[in-house]
């Protein structure tokens, strides 16, 4: 690549730092964009610049938006009594795609991790505890990932919230899931939580 | 994703159109960039804009550069007698990474394809024939992909160039390649082209 123009090399280096792309796929993506300059490359440059300048974290819940309050916190359609706690904005989007939950969110910004020295203060846990008191929340739904760190965080938060109902997402067989392809832990959890038909 | 800000949704849609990325990996890449705003997102927006405005095809060979002549065509260090014909700029970059070839290039911009109605005029083939005459070329090295379309194109070009030596890259076992993992065609080609030790 010694003979690609400097800007082009910089662009490939930057693209290669995105998750899911490496040097080879970054080169491919850049050449593809150059072929679709007006339809893809210029709009992408503009939109990237706009998002970099305008998008910020909601002061209340940590979701992304363009104002101090995100669209969900600001919406009169969302009920106030239920708070759904997620690790990251991508999890909030996943919950929204499911489309069932009508309350508000609280994005922690990660999980507790002794290894990485991430304690409650590094996350939005103190703010969560304040919100539960201030917003007269009746139920906190912990929608954290079913990983070790996620479950540790869930237990820590549940311990801090004694005056309010704390629930978590059910664990079991995914819709369309085949038992043969599921791990033992999931099958055990689904068996323990079996329901009367 | 109904609750992501409009710009953010546009950005994810645009990113998802890049080769190698889909909706899920585009979301992941965008959230990653927002976390690395100053180090990645803003530089990427700037560099994309610069490349979209400055990079163009070399008038002689079709390589990408910022001037009428690309760095290779313009370099006094590159010899004039040999011309290496490649399908695309990515192939030129691959040849340059190998670092052995010291002549100049000619980028066809694709391959002949009856199915897609791509004839010689849609590619830089007429310009190649003119260059061979004008630049007193003594050897044309066809470094086209070993695909059906690539080889058809190679044979077409070889037919047009009767007054000059035309060669093509050797076919055989790749360096480090294991016979067990190679296709039959490659093994047959390597056997036919076997060399005395």
Is pLDDT above 80 for A78? yes
Residue B142: per-residue pLDDT: 92
User: Which residues fall within 8 angstroms of residue B140, CB to CB, at 6 or more apart?
Assistant: B82, B83, B85, B128, B132, B157, B161, B164, B165, B166, B167
- Give the three-state DSSP class for A166: strand
Whole-complex ipTM: 0.82
The minimum CA-CA distance between B56 and chain A, rounded to whole Å, is: 9
Q: How far apart are CA A61 and CA B3, in angstroms?
A: 14
CB spacing of A4 vs B41 below 8 angstroms: no
Q: Which domains does chain B have, with CATH numbers?
A: 6-54 (1.10.8), 64-196 (3.40.1360.10)
Residue B72: per-residue pLDDT: 94
Share of chain B above pLDDT 90, in %: 70
The minimum CA-CA distance between A194 and chain B, rounded to whole Å, is: 32
Residue A141: per-residue pLDDT: 93
- Give the three-state DSSP class for A114: coil
CB spacing of B20 vs A20 below 8 angstroms: yes
The minimum CA-CA distance between A17 and chain B, rounded to whole Å, is: 8
pLDDT digits (tens, 9 = 90+) for A43-61: 999 999 999 999 999 999 9
Please report which confidence band the pLDDT of residue B194 belongs to, taking 50, 70 and 90 as the band edges: confident
Please report which confidence band the pLDDT of residue B108 belongs to, taking 50, 70 and 90 as the band edges: very high
Is pLDDT above 50 for A1? no
How many Cβ atoms from other residues are within 10 Å of residue A51's Cβ?
23
Is pLDDT above 90 for B16? yes
Q: How far apart are CA B48 and CA A33, in angstroms?
A: 9
Q: What are phi and psi of A35, to 5 degrees?
A: -75, -25
Contact B135, B79 (CB under 8 A): no
CA dihedral B6, B12, B14, B17 (to 10 degrees): -150
CB spacing of A52 vs B37 below 8 angstroms: yes
How many Cβ atoms from other residues are within 10 Å of residue A23's Cβ?
12
Show contacts of A34-43: CB within 8 Å, 24+ apart: A34/B51, A34/B55, A34/B64, A37/B52, A40/B14, A40/B17, A40/B18, A41/B48, A41/B51, A41/B52, A42/B49, A42/B52, A43/B10, A43/B14
Residue B132: both structure tokens together: 């061979």
Contact A76, B10 (CB under 8 A): no
pLDDT digits (tens, 9 = 90+) for A113-149: 988 899 998 999 999 999 999 998 999 999 998 888 9
Average pLDDT over chain A, rounded to an integer: 90
B-chain residues near A70 (CB < 8 A): 3
- Give the three-state DSSP class for A122: helix
CB spacing of A32 vs B18 below 8 angstroms: yes
Residue B55: both structure tokens together: 């990079």
Average pLDDT over chain B, rounded to an integer: 90
Share of chain A above pLDDT 70, in %: 98
The beta-carbon neighbor of A45 closest among B3, B25, B45 is: B45
Residue A83: per-residue pLDDT: 94
Is pLDDT above 70 for B4? no
Stretch B2-22: mean pLDDT, rounded?
A: 87
Please report which confidence band the pLDDT of residue A4 belongs to, taking 50, 70 and 90 as the band edges: low
CA-wise closest residue to A29 among A44, A49, A50, A46:
A44
Q: How many CB pairs under 8 A join A and B?
A: 161
CB spacing of B4 vs A93 below 8 angstroms: yes
Residue B3: per-residue pLDDT: 52
Q: What are phi and psi of A183, to 5 degrees?
A: -75, 160
pLDDT digits (tens, 9 = 90+) for B138-191: 999 999 988 889 999 999 999 999 889 999 988 888 888 888 888 888 888 888
* DSSP assigned state of B16: T
Is pLDDT above 70 for B10? yes
For residue A30, the Cα-to-chain-centroid distance in whole angstroms is: 28
Share of chain B above pLDDT 70, in %: 98
Residue B1: per-residue pLDDT: 45
Interface test with B, best of A5, A24, A92 (most B CBs within 10 A): A5
Q: Which of A49-53, A189-193, B57-61, B125-129 has the lowest mean pLDDT?
A: A189-193
Residue A170: per-residue pLDDT: 87
Contact A4, B63 (CB under 8 A): no
pLDDT digits (tens, 9 = 90+) for A56-75: 999 999 999 999 999 999 99
Please report which confidence band the pLDDT of residue B2 belongs to, taking 50, 70 and 90 as the band edges: very low
Residue A50: per-residue pLDDT: 93
B-chain residues near A92 (CB < 8 A): 3
CA A12 to each of CA A142, A188, B52: distance values in angstroms, whole numbers, following the listed order: 40, 46, 13
Is pLDDT above 80 for A3? no
B-chain residues near A89 (CB < 8 A): 31
Q: How far apart are CA A7 and CA B51, in angstroms?
A: 6
The minimum CA-CA distance between B142 and chain A, rounded to whole Å, is: 20
pLDDT digits (tens, 9 = 90+) for A151-190: 999 999 999 998 899 999 888 888 888 888 888 888 888 8
By the 10 Å C-beta count (0-12 exposed, 13-18 middle, 19+ buried), A103 is classed as: middle
């Amino acid at each position: 690549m010694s003979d690609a123009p400097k800007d082009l090399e910089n662009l490939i280096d930057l693209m290669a730092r995105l998750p899911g792309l490496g040097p080879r796929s970054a080169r491919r993506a850049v050449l593809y964009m150059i072929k679709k300059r007006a339809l893809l490359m210029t709009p992408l440059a503009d939109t990237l610049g706009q998002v970099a300048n305008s998008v910020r974290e909601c002061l209340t819940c940590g979701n992304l938006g363009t104002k101090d309050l995100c669209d969900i916190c600001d919406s009169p359609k969302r009920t106030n009594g239920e708070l759904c706690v997620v690790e990251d904005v991508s999890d909030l989007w996943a919950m929204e795609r499911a489309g069932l939950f009508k309350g508000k969110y609280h994005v922690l910004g990660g999980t507790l991790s002794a290894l990485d020295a991430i304690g409650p203060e590094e996350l939005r846990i103190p703010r969560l505890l304040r919100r539960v008191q201030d917003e007269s929340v009746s139920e906190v739904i912990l929608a954290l990932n079913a990983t070790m760190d996620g479950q540790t965080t869930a237990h820590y938060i549940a311990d801090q919230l004694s005056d309010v109902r704390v629930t978590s997402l059910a664990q079991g067989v995914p819709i369309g899931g085949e038992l043969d392809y599921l791990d033992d832990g999931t099958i055990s959890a689904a068996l323990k939580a079996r329901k009367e038909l």
